[in-house]
A = this chain, B = another copy of it.
Amino acid sequence: MTDPGTTMPANRPRRGRPPTSPLTPALILETARALVEREGPDALTLRRLGTELGSNHTAVLRHFTGKDEIVLGLAEQLIEEALAGFVPREDWRDTLTALARRVRTACLAHPAVAVLVATRVSRRAAEFRGADTVIGALRQAGFGELDAARYYRVLADTVLAVSSYEASVTVLDDEARRGDRMAWQREYLAVSPVRYPHLAAVAGHLAAIDAEDQFETVLELLLDAVELRALRAARER
């Protein structure tokens, strides 16, 4: 991408320019994200990041206390993108479905970032706005405070876990594409029908399963069951 050329002619972050290096947290995060997306999670290195920014590899430590904080910044960026401009639907179930799809979409749009961040995210990055929306939807469904809290954590954790799990599989397929994925498909197809009769019987279907379909199924199962409990909870009051 070329420099868009803003009205002020100064402030161009060309490679290897010490004179006026702008080096802001936002620029660092953006560069880090681009690097990770281009070359995978392992490419995020203070030294690589330094050359990418055209500065000394220790310069970023003036804006972040360490590499960990950069990863945390990427996590917030990801959640931010997932929630940007979201407005709750009328129906509570539509709200939860749309929100879950947004989380998955963001994770799959930047799978390497998602993998990097998955183990580091802790819940604070899940952001108050998302939590408030989910809990609001659950109370709208008819749950009391305690149940709303419980099912919020169940749904949020499961959607985050499943999304980053899927992202990690995507990254694996990308970087070690010597066929880890193809390997298990072939192995499953060649499985012994006498030792594993059930597996052998359905092996042909296994490879054909669509990832998006699978996510939708998880979501439907969870929300079907939650809806059932909501109706029961409403009836009991």
Contact = CB atoms under 8 A, between A and B. Distances in A.
Interface in A116-168: 118-120, 122-124, 128-129, 131-133, 135-136, 139, 145-146, 148-154, 157-158, 160-162, 164-166, 168
Given A123-B184, A161-B161, A152 B196 contact: no
Contacts of A129: 196
A191 interface: yes
A236 interface: no
Interface in A175-200: 180-181, 183-184, 187-188, 191, 195-199
Given A119-B168, A172-B120, A209-B149, A202 B135 contact: yes
A115 B124 contact: no
A228 interface: yes
A169 interface: yes
A62 interface: no
A94 interface: no
Contact of A199 (B128, B197, B198, B225): B128
Interface stretch (A1-9, A17-25, A51-59, A215-223): A215-223
Contacts of A153: 206, 209, 214
B122 A169 contact: yes
**Residue from A166, A168, A199, A217 with most neighbouring chain B CB atoms (10 Å):** A199
A120, A169, A221, most chain B CB atoms within 10 A: A221
Nearest to A140: B198
Nearest to A184: B124
A151 B168 CA distance: 21
B150 A199 contact: no
Contacts of A218: 154, 157-158, 222
